[in-house]
Structure formats: structure tokens, C-alpha cells
Amino acid sequence: MEKVCPITKTLNYLSKKWTLLILRELHNNGTKRFNELIREMENISPRTLSKRLKELEKLELVSKKRFNETPPRVEYSLTNKGKELIKCFKHLDIWVKKFDVK
């Protein structure tokens, strides 16, 4: 059985279209409802957003909070694990700028 490098596995998830933008949106603007994310992200389909949010929930990077209201309300936010990942991106940004990576 072939072992997969954990970093490669993580990068495969993160490299999916819209994933990093969703994380950035939640980091920059805090807790968001589904329709707010749709409006802010422009051009993402509801189906794709739903799929990416489920993947991010499964990775425990995003949490989904359901409110028992009518109409139903759901909010998404970064978990502590997701916030730690954002710190890694900040270090990567510093590296890119230091070595003028284009």
C-alpha cells in the first residue's frame, strides 16, 4: 500500500477551486451565512459552495452552527484549526515576498 505524504494530501484539499477564497472570506470577515458567502464570492455556484463547505467541515477547518429558528439560520466560521492554518498562509506570504516568487 502506497503512503501519501500528509502535506500533499492537505495541499490537494486546499488547491480545489474556491477553497482558499472561502477560508480567506471567513478569516477577513468572520462568521458568515451561506447567502452572504454567495454574495461576497461572486461567480461561485451554490452547489460548489455547499460542497466546499462540507469538505472544510470534514477537515475541521470550518464550523457550521445551526439555529433552531424559522426560517432556519446557519452560520459558518473558522475553527481554531482553521485559524492556525491561516497563520501558515501568512508565513508563506512572507516567504513569497522575501524570495520574490512570481
pLDDT at 1: 63
pLDDT at residue 102, as a whole number:
78
The model's pLDDT over 5-32, given as tens digits with 9 standing for 90+, comes to: 888 988 999 999 999 999 999 999 999 9
Instruction: Tell me the per-residue pLDDT of 34-90, one tens digit each, with 9 for 90 and over.
Output: 999 999 998 999 999 999 999 999 999 999 999 998 888 999 999 999 999 999 999
- Model pLDDT, residue 66: 94
At residue 3 the predicted structure's pLDDT band, cuts being 50, 70 and 90, is confident
Contacts of 65 (CB under 8 A, 6+ apart): 31, 74, 75, 76, 77
Burial class (CB in 10 A: 0-12, 13-18, 19+), 62: buried
Band of pLDDT at residue 97, cut at 50, 70 and 90: very high
